[in-house]
Amino acid sequence: MRLEQSHRTERFGAVRIHELQRVIQLDSGDARGAVDDGVVSHDAIRAIEREMVIVIPCMNETRRVIEGVLSGIPQDCLIVLVSNSSRHPVDRYEIEAQTVEQFCRLADRPAVTVHQRDPGLAAAFKSAGMPELIGDDGLVRSGKGEAMLVGMAVAALTGRRYLGYIDADNYVPGAVHEYVKVYAAGLHLADNPYAMVRISWHSKPKLRDGRLFFSRRGRSSEITNGFLNRLIAEYSGFGTEVIATGNAGEHALSLDLGLRLRLAGGFAVEPFEYVDLFEQFGGVLDTAAQPEVMASSVPVLQIETRNPHFHDNKGEEHVQGMRLQALNVLYHSPVTLPAVRAAIVEFMVAQGALAPGAEPPRERIYPPVGSLELDLLRDQLDTEAETLCKIGGHSTVEGSRVWTRRA
């Protein structure tokens, strides 16, 4: 893979946000570039992929779409599907798990699937030290952030070093393939134990007046990115447009970083990753100093893919929900300065999303996955979580390639 070179970064304490870089070429063959020319060799990519878990949060996608997504994930990555699909009247999770199992049999590779609303999963997280994740019904809360948290905990159990998220609602297997290659190339180039790679898709095909139109930016992203950039600019005194990936569903990170991050619930999860990076590693709050991370710095690479992002249209309500949840976490963060908070409220009121004089609601923020007792979680999952499937690939003993050996 060949990426555009990135020369400019914006610093926020230990966080170094790289300007958006484009993918120049999907496959740069066996070329091995000089240092810093943006070429990442096949071998370097493969080395990261062998250490990478791909978590797919999934809700009510068709068998065919899931199969396409799976087909795009390079062989060496471990697939983890976290489903919140309906189980009645048709058990869609059963169909999903079968789809994954069948694919893995054909492709001879391992995978893990689990249902987010499995009572055994909730029990395991409760025992392992995260009762916050459990709702009034005694189950893990519904929500994308919660699915991602479950996926991260499962990834931590595998002993692999990197984690990438891929949304299940993607019609283009080649785009999925590119996302994973971008994760690997970015994590290689970041060359840092605490690194994150966030994707900005090239374009999004939309229907407009009966024809296709390739839109460059999402409706929700523009607003989230705008306020995140203002948050930074309030500190630096210089306007910036560096953040282009505030709502990036597609992103990857080292687990060394991931296990330290607090994830937010629902659709607040993706923008809150930026906010938590600023809170924990921005150097402006007294809390949570992590000297080893502060000394190392935290690079965030933002990469624009070549493929269009082609998925189902979830409708205006979904977009509005995403936007508001992003603004809620921004508003309530202690790193957000008063001027930005005021601008957020003004915007929300103007949109009719907030009554004048009211305060934006708080979103749920969970403790870091690294605070879980992972040995306990593993044991509880194995014994309690009935929906947990560990698929081994046909040439290995069932499941043996999935969990890491215990220390």
From candidates 6, 158, 229, 307, binder to a second copy by CB under 8 A:
307
From candidates 36, 108, 241, 375, binder to a second copy by CB under 8 A:
108
The two three-digit tokens of residue 261, written as one number: 């991050």
> Given phi > 0 = left and psi -120 to 50 = alpha, else beta, which region is 231?
alpha
| CA–CA dist 404, 407 (Å, integer) | 9
Write down the least CB distance from residue 306 to a second copy, Å.
Answer: 4
In the bound state with a second copy, the residue whose beta carbon lies nearer, of 161 and 202, is 202
Number of residues that bind a second copy (CB under 8 A): 44
Write down the least CB distance from residue 227 to a second copy, Å.
Answer: 30
In the bound state with a second copy, the residue whose beta carbon lies nearer, of 102 and 142, is 102
From candidates 7, 8, 211, 405, binder to a second copy by CB under 8 A:
211
Q: Residue 177, interface with a second copy (CB under 8 A)?
A: yes
User: Binding segment for a second copy among 13-21, 85-93, 100-108, 325-333 (CB under 8 A)?
Assistant: 100-108
Q: Residue 306, interface with a second copy (CB under 8 A)?
A: yes
Q: Residue 23, interface with a second copy (CB under 8 A)?
A: yes
In the bound state with a second copy, the residue whose beta carbon lies nearer, of 160 and 177, is 177
The two three-digit tokens of residue 53, written as one number: 């878990």
243 contacts: CB under 8 Å, gap ≥ 6: 17, 225, 228, 229, 232, 274, 302
Q: Nearest Cα to 162, choosing from 116, 196, 129?
A: 196
Q: Residue 367, interface with a second copy (CB under 8 A)?
A: no
Q: Residue 49, interface with a second copy (CB under 8 A)?
A: yes
Q: Residue 2, interface with a second copy (CB under 8 A)?
A: yes
Local structure of 288: helix, strand or coil: coil
Lay out the site mask for a second copy across 257-296 (x = CB under 8 A, - = otherwise): ----------------------------------------
From candidates 175, 187, 244, 327, binder to a second copy by CB under 8 A:
175
Sign of CA dihedral 266, 158, 193, 170: negative
| CA–CA dist 272, 252 (Å, integer) | 15
User: Binding segment for a second copy among 142-150, 155-163, 207-215, 261-269 (CB under 8 A)?
Assistant: 207-215
Q: Residue 61, interface with a second copy (CB under 8 A)?
A: no
Q: Residue 171, interface with a second copy (CB under 8 A)?
A: yes
User: Binding segment for a second copy among 17-25, 317-325, 341-349, 374-382 (CB under 8 A)?
Assistant: 17-25
Q: Residue 26, interface with a second copy (CB under 8 A)?
A: yes
Question: Which DSSP letter does residue 378 get?
Answer: H
Q: Residue 27, interface with a second copy (CB under 8 A)?
A: yes
User: Binding segment for a second copy among 11-19, 286-294, 304-312, 366-374 (CB under 8 A)?
Assistant: 304-312
The two three-digit tokens of residue 147, written as one number: 């699915």
Number of H helices, E strands in the chain: 13, 14
In the bound state with a second copy, the residue whose beta carbon lies nearer, of 105 and 362, is 105
136 contacts: CB under 8 Å, gap ≥ 6: none
Contact 285, 13 (CB under 8 A): no
The CA angle 277-114-104, to the nearest 5 degrees, is: 105
| CA–CA dist 333, 325 (Å, integer) | 13
3-state secondary structure 118-166: CHHHHHHHHHHCCHHHECCCCCECCCHHHHHHHHHHHHHHCCCCEEEEC
From candidates 32, 46, 219, 394, binder to a second copy by CB under 8 A:
46
Local structure of 356: helix, strand or coil: coil
Strands 78-83, 52-58: parallel, antiparallel or unpaired by DSSP? parallel
Chain centre to alpha carbon of residue 347: 27
In the bound state with a second copy, the residue whose beta carbon lies nearer, of 220 and 305, is 305
From candidates 173, 193, 283, 321, binder to a second copy by CB under 8 A:
173
From candidates 32, 36, 75, 359, binder to a second copy by CB under 8 A:
75
Instruction: Give the position of tokens 């409760």.
Output: 126
Q: Residue 19, interface with a second copy (CB under 8 A)?
A: no
| CA–CA dist 28, 21 (Å, integer) | 16
In the bound state with a second copy, the residue whose beta carbon lies nearer, of 50 and 126, is 50
For a second copy, the binding residues (CB under 8 A) are 2, 4, 23-31, 42, 46, 49, 68, 70-76, 103, 106-108, 171-175, 177-178, 202, 205, 207, 210-212, 214, 306-308, 310
